[in-house]
Every structure is written in structure tokens, then in C-alpha cells.
């Protein structure tokens, strides 16, 4: 009688999708990422509009990509002249794909952190961390994550003077969820998505 072999465990294949870098050093490069549940990369047309808005601010910018997912926003910023990007996402598959793509691009000016965004922000040491010039915030919809992220960025002094902050939300969110001293610079709606660009101005009583 033949030897009995235990049945092999079946592993669900990882579904992948791809994104295209629109412009800059890596223009036209296509990169694969893990298509995890709930991941919705910023569409090309929205990215194109956003980076037209951002062009004057990108050169030499230190970037923070929160809820990074595919990393489309932080990668595009690097391609267009940002000096560095820190990617933060809690999903292991997304982080591994991002690491792989950074290696393919030979990008040594980026780091990928696998963590809950709120936990990671909470653990920053006030006044002793890098201050970011440009922050991308595209969290899962309808989970009220924008407001606490903004509060933690401010509490831990993680934003440079006149920092630029991109916020993407569900279109039905009408209330203001960012600090009063963040001035809305540009905004637009595309289908079910609203996206806004803010410039952080010094709050009352803060010296610049």
C-alpha cells in the first residue's frame, strides 16, 4: 500500500493589480501591488490633477504617505523630485509589494512601515521626529480617521511650517474635519470621491 500523504493546504492566490507612474524620473513605469480588500488606489485622473496642484511644492519635499496602500501617491512624489517618502500601512501584503517596488526602482530614499497609522502617529516623540513638508491622507472611508490623524500630526509637531496636506474622503462627508488653521488651497470632486489640498498656516500663538 502506498504511503499516505496528508492533503496539501490550499493557499488563496494573491490577486495583483498595477499602477502607472505618470511623470518624473520613473514616468511610464508600471508596478504591481497586492489588491487587498478595500484597497482603492487614487485613480490616474485624480493623481494627475493632484500633482499638477503639487508641482510647485515637490522639489526637495519630505513626504509622509499615510494609509499608503499601493503607494501610488508617495511613489509619484518621489518620481517628481521629493527628497524622501515614509509609507505607513497596516496591511502586510501592501507593505511587501511596496518594498519590492522600491527595490525595482532602486529608490533608497524611502521607508515602509507596517503599522496602524493611528498607533504609529501616537508613538511619535513630540519635537524629536522629522517634520514633513507634504502629507498624503487617503484612509478607508466612513471610519472617521481623518480627524484623529490631523490631531496627532499637530500634537507631535510632525508638520513643517507651511506643510501641504492632501486629504481624500467620501464625497458625502461635508463637515470640516481638519484644523481651522489648515487653509484649503484646492478642492475637487470626482464621482464618489472628494479630494482637497490644505496648506498649514501657523495657529494663533505659534511663532514661525
pLDDT value for 13: 53
* pLDDT (tens digit per residue) in 133-175: 999 999 988 888 999 999 999 999 999 999 999 999 887 776 7
* pLDDT (tens digit per residue) in 4-61: 445 554 445 567 888 899 999 999 999 998 776 666 667 788 899 999 999 999 999 9
* pLDDT (tens digit per residue) in 66-113: 999 999 999 999 999 999 999 999 999 999 999 999 999 999 999 999
Q: Is the pLDDT of residue 208 over 80?
A: no
Are 16 and 39 in contact, with CB atoms under 8 Å apart? Answer: no
CB atoms closer than 10 angstroms to residue 203: 11
pLDDT value for 141: 83
pLDDT value for 171: 79
Strand order in the sheet with 182-190: 110-114, 84-89, 62-66, 132-137, 159-170, 193-200, 182-190
All structural domains of the chain, each given as residue ranges with its CATH number in brackets, are: 43-200 (3.40.50.150)
* pLDDT (tens digit per residue) in 193-206: 889 999 999 876 66
Amino acid at each position: 500500500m502506498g504511503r499516505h500523504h496528508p492533503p496539501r493546504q490550499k493557499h488563496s492566490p494573491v490577486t495583483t493589480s498595477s499602477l502607472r507612474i505618470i511623470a518624473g524620473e520613473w514616468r511610464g513605469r508600471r508596478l504591481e501591488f497586492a489588491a487587498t480588500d478595500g484597497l482603492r488606489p487614487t485613480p490616474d485622473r485624480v493623481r494627475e490633477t493632484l500633482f499638477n496642484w503639487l508641482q510647485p511644492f515637490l522639489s526637495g519635499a519630505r513626504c509622509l504617505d499615510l494609509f499608503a496602500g499601493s503607494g501610488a501617491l508617495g511613489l509619484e512624489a518621489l518620481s517628481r523630485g521629493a527628497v524622501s517618502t515614509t509609507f505607513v500601512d497596516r496591511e502586510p501584503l501592501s507593505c511587501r509589494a511596496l518594498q519590492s517596488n522600491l527595490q525595482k526602482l532602486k529608490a533608497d530614499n524611502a521607508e515602509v512601515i507596517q503599522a496602524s497609522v493611528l498607533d504609529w502617529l501616537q508613538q511619535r516623540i513630540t519635537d524629536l521626529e522629522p517634520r514633513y513638508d507634504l502629507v498624503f491622507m487617503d484612509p478607508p472611508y466612513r471610519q472617521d480617521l481623518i480627524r484623529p490623524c490631523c490631531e496627532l500630526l499637530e500634537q507631535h509637531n510632525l508638520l513643517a511650517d507651511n506643510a501641504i496636506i492632501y486629504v481624500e474622503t467620501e464625497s458625502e462627508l461635508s463637515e470640516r474635519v481638519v484644523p481651522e488653521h489648515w487653509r484649503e488651497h484646492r478642492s475637487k470632486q470626482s464621482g464618489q470621491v472628494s479630494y482637497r489640498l490644505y496648506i498649514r498656516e501657523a495657529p494663533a500663538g505659534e511663532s514661525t
